[in-house]
Structure 1
Amino acid sequence: MKNIKLYFLIVLILISSCEGFLDERPSKGIIVPTTIDDLYSILANTQRINREINLGILLADDMFTNDQGYLTFINDFTRDAYKWKQEIFEVTGGNAFWNIPYITIFHANFILETVSEINPRNENDINDLRNLRGMALFHRANALTGLLQFFAPPVLTESDLQKRAIPIKLNSDVNDHQGLATIGEVYNRIFLDLEESMELLPETQSTVVHPGKLAVYGLLARIHLILGNYSEALNFSQKILDKKSDLLGYSEIFENTSFPIVGLQYPIPVLNNELIYFSSGGASQSFTSPLSFVDRELVNSYSENDLRKFLFFNNPNQDGNVNFIGHYTGNFELFSGIALDEVYLIKSECLARLNRGKEGLDVLNSLLETRFRKGTYLPEEYLSETQSLSKILEERRKSLVFRGYLRWVDMRRLLKDPEWNGPKPRVVMGETFSGTMTKTV
């Protein structure tokens, strides 16, 4: 373990500078992981491997702050992001939102390279090497997917796939600089990684911090929804629900929660049975401080029998503002992984997009029944295809609030919808900023 800690220290120093990291070891005294156990130890560093960027919370319209909160933002980048300035996408290697996923990619590439050099001694080694390769491919694909949602334009038409996006790194040599690949090329790489990963991984792992086959299905369902491939997204969401479909009963959590919920209490249990893959966006004073408020119209849209209203938000302050406390991390950190409620919502939306709105509402009703006080939920009735889709999108936002980049992605997807007018303007230090940047990314 001492060797692994030394390895991580070296990696962090070298990646942060991106200079001086030679193909050969910089020193004979540096010990590089070479065994199966070493590689599992790398993946056990969940604070690095299972960490995703949390920029989506700042960009999405779920959150707002006041002038005091704005002044506490840690740097000009986050302040500009809150004002939806398009220049934030012109990042350099020193930007944490850019570096975090590429550090994950570095670790994934290192594992892939090392796995190919290990000669298995027995059947257990063969299975371990398959598992390690499958997990590394998933992590690389997941990191590339996250990068595309922030540092590439949204895919609104087929031609958008030809636009330049981000570098694709397929090795651990930090001196091998890659140019910008197109959006289509990056997604092709993601699909290749996930297709192979799906063949290598077991259905589930002993812990949800390690991705299994269900996590691959979940990421593929999410990606296909983003790209508008609704039949494919429906297929992968159903693959999960065929194996895992038991939702949390929010009424049981509610009955075991003391009210009012005071600071530093988070009612959703960590590692609960809805989790398919656990990852965290960490915490930031910009997004998780008492001055990071939830959109008031969104909070007011929950009925009194809807337990999300009580388990997701704390009591209003003197100005009527509330904070989000319903993280699936079980604490103040932002959940950015894959959970069963998202899968239900993907299936529901895809059915509606495929003109099967009644079926989509049936799936939505199955989810919402577990979110209300026992015996109070009145199922949504089918009126029209348009009404079904509108209701599903409304409930998607209410269920997945403060959930990684999902609302930000939805805002980008909705640019194709003529009814979507963009987010409400934000007022900062007396100046108004509109969300028009989302239409020109």
Structure 2
Amino acid sequence: MKRLNTYKTFAMIGMLTCSISGCSKYLGLKPDNSFSVPGSLQDLQGLLDNSEVVMNFAATGLAEIASDSYYLNETSWTAMTDERDRFLYLWQPYSPIASQWTGPYQAILHANTVLKYLPSIKISPGEITVANSLRGAALFHRAYQLLHLLQVFSLPYDPAGSNDNLGVVLRKEPSLDEKISRSTVRQCYDFIIGDLKESVNLLPEKADIPTRPSKAAAYAALARAYLVMSAFENAGRYADSALMIQPDLIDYGTEINTASNVPFSKWNKEVIFDMAMNGGAPLAPARRRVNIAEYGNYEESDLRKKAFFSLNNQGEVLFKGNYNGLNSSQLFCGPTTAEMYLIRSETNIRKNRLSEAAKDINTLRAKRFASSDFSEVEFTEQKWAMDFIKKERRRELIFRGQRWPDVRRYILLGEQEETMTRIAGGKIYTMTAPDIVGYTYKLPDEVIDNGSLIQN
């Protein structure tokens, strides 16, 4: 990996990394118009390698904030100083902190800058592969951030509907003068799928480091996108493609210390692409507590119960299973090989290919139990298998930002009724199934005040 050690690269990053105080034109942001034009492939790579500031720590965490995997006790809830955090935890119609929107669009700005300036750079025959990889990486980053934004700022994709309701903004240029508006949900998914499919043909099978996109990562992102669209055959096909490149699983019985406060190392072998969400105040480790129902969803012999959780002196359940090795609200939300096994298994269940589905589940679970405690699961009835895979997704993907989109698609498919409950300020707040499907976050006030976007 080339280090970001040139003044020019740092200058470009500084100008592209927008802040609320200094930028208001790029979706509520207005950066300094004095822009250092990238002049080499190394410059462009530097923009995409700004991983710990912009590119790989930018995903919105609002899906996890909305989920029922955790709760805040009264002390933690009242201690949040920003009222937006307190009321968003209760699913109230408040605008979130601006960084939940602007952070992803900062990453998109970097990606669009690469896409704009790459064609103008003279490259030698020996640099064609690098140039192609840069274009593929920029397309991937743009699509990945848009996919996360759609899960919280738009209604869910309805496989039986027109999907002409408001989506998010499809920024295609780094220009500050680009006219912006919200595209429809269908247009957004078409755009995301298009970017990812093109990136597949440009990226290397595996990246040097997991913060850089790869062909496996693009396949995994396509699998996720098609899953939330309930396009299951495509979801399974792309999960299979990702697993053909990267099939490895961690053996929780022999390869990690489940008693450790940080059981998982950064960039472990299950990580297909490294991405962290902005969990904000509600998901700070000192505040969040795991719902006891989630904790009870694991068998005692399931090693995930020890690897993911610990108990404090009050008997409250704490989450420690962050796949990026951090004890913070920056929770890992990238795709993993385990997730791909789950997507492929769900596809096979829905297509009534039960023996194939069970094979994937057993491949995964064999690495989550000690060999003496593991017994294979048999799928003989489709509905039972479907119920099992839903629970297995909850067990494996807790605090990954997947619970909220999962619940919404299950409800839309008419498969289950869900009710979520919070308690704060002496009151009970409840979300019924229609509430969950119809709930979207408002766009941040800073974006609405400075632009021409329609509010949710």
- The alignment status of 1:61 with 2:68, answered yes or no, reads yes
CA distance in 1, matches of 2:247, 2:108: 31
Match of 1:345 in 2: 342
TM-score by length of 2: 0.88
SS across alignment from 1:375 = coil
CA contact (8 A) 1:293 1:324 kept: yes
Structure 1 residue corresponding to 2:391, chosen from 387, 394, 399: 394
Contact 1:167/1:179 (CA < 8 Å) preserved in 2?
A: yes
Matching residue within 101, 104, 108 for 1:98: 101
Matches within 5 A, 1:102-251: 102-120=105-123, 122-251=124-253
Q: Is the 8 A contact 1:358 1:388 kept in 2?
A: no
DSSP 3-state at the match of 1:188: helix
What CA deviation, in whole Å up to 9, does each residue of 1:303-329 have, x standing for no partner?
2211000000012431x2111100110
Deviations 1:280-301 (A, max 9, x none): 1255442032220111011022
Among 289, 292, 302, which residue is 2:288 paired with? 292
> Contact between 1:248 and 1:370, CA under 8 Å: does it hold in 2?
yes
Matched, 1:35 2:40: yes
Answer yes or no: is the 8 Å Cα contact 2:23–2:32 preserved in 1. Answer: no
Structure 2 Cα separation of the partners of residues 153 and 276 of structure 1: 28
Aligned counterparts of 1:40 and 1:149: Cα–Cα separation in 2? 29
Deviation, structure 1 residue 421: 2.7
Q: Which amino acid aligns with 2:361?
A: L
TM-score by length of 1: 0.91
C-alpha distance in 2 between matches for 1:227 and 1:200: 25
Q: Which moved more, 1:64-73 or 1:212-221?
A: 64-73
With over 3 angstroms needed to count, the CA separation of the structure-2 counterparts of 1:421 and 1:205, relative to structure 1, is same
Question: Residues 118 and 356 (structure 1 numbering): CA distance in 2 closer, same or farther, change over 3 Å?
Answer: same
- The structure that is helix-richer by fraction is 1
Residue 77 (structure 1) aligns with: 84
Matching residue of 1:310: 306
Q: Secondary structure at the match of 1:33?
A: coil
Range with bigger deviation, 141-150 or 239-248: 239-248
- 1:355 CA displacement: 1.5
Q: Distance in 2 between matches of 1:362 and 1:19?
A: 51
CA contact 1:145–1:190 (8 Å) conserved in 2: yes
Partner of 2:316: 321
Q: Where does the alignment leave 5 or more consecutive residues of structure 2 unmatched?
A: 1-5, 440-456
What RMSD in Å do the two structures reach over aligned CA positions? 2.2
Q: Distance in 2 between matches of 1:413 and 1:274?
A: 26
Where 1:250 maps in the other structure, the secondary structure is coil
C-alpha distance in structure 2 between counterparts of 1:101 and 1:390, whole Å: 34
Structure-2 separation of matches of 1:108 and 1:74: 34
Candidates 356, 359, 362, aligned match of 1:362 = 359
**What amino acid is the match of 1:430?**
G
Structure 1: unaligned runs, 5 residues or longer? none
Instruction: Report the residue type matching 2:44 in the other structure.
Output: L
Cα deviation, residue 20, structure 1: 6.9
Deviations 1:53-97 (A, max 9, x none): 112221111111111111233523322221112x24x66xx7111
Contact 1:198 1:213 in 2 (8 A): yes
Q: Give identity over the alignment, percent.
A: 29
CA contact (8 A) 2:62 2:279 kept: no
2:55 to 45, 49, 54: 49
For residues 24 and 398 of structure 2, the distance between their equivalents in structure 1, rounded to whole angstroms, comes to 39
In 1, Cα distance between the equivalents of 2:24 and 2:242?
43
Q: Which amino acid aligns with 1:351?
A: N
Q: In structure 2, do the counterparts of structure 1 residues 13 and 266 end up closer, same or farther at CA, with 3 Å as the change threshold?
A: same
Shift of 1:199: 1.0
Q: Structure 1 pair 20/369, CA: closer, same or farther in 2 (3 Å)?
A: closer
Partner of 1:165, secondary structure, is strand
**CA distance in 2: counterparts of 1:72 and 1:266, whole angstroms:** 26
Check the 8 A contact 2:16/2:31 in 1, yes or no. no
Q: Kindly state the Cα deviation for residue 381 of structure 1 after the two structures are TM-superposed.
A: 1.9
Q: Measure how far apart 1:119 and its partner are.
A: 1.6
Distance change >3 Å, CA 67–CA 217, structure 1 → 2: same
**In the alignment, residue 220 of structure 2 is paired with which amino acid?**
G
The CA deviation at 1:141 is 0.6
Contact 1:23 1:173 (C-alpha < 8 Å) held by counterparts: no
- Equivalent residue number for residue 277 of structure 1: 273
**Cα–Cα, structure 1 residues 76 and 174, in superposed 2: closer, same or farther, change >3 Å?**
farther
Superposition deviation, residue 330 in structure 1: 1.2
Alignment of 1:248-259 (within 5 A): 248-254=250-256, 256-257=257-258, 259=259
The separation in 2 between residues aligned to 1:392 and 1:340, in whole angstroms, is: 16
SS in structure 1 at match of 2:17: helix
Compared CA separation, residues 439 and 285, structure 1 to 2 (3 A): closer
Partner amino acid, structure 2, of 1:322: V
Q: Distance in 2 between matches of 1:25 and 1:215?
A: 33
> For 1:253 and 1:160, how far apart are their aligned partners in 2?
47
Q: Distance in 2 between matches of 1:95 and 1:325?
A: 27
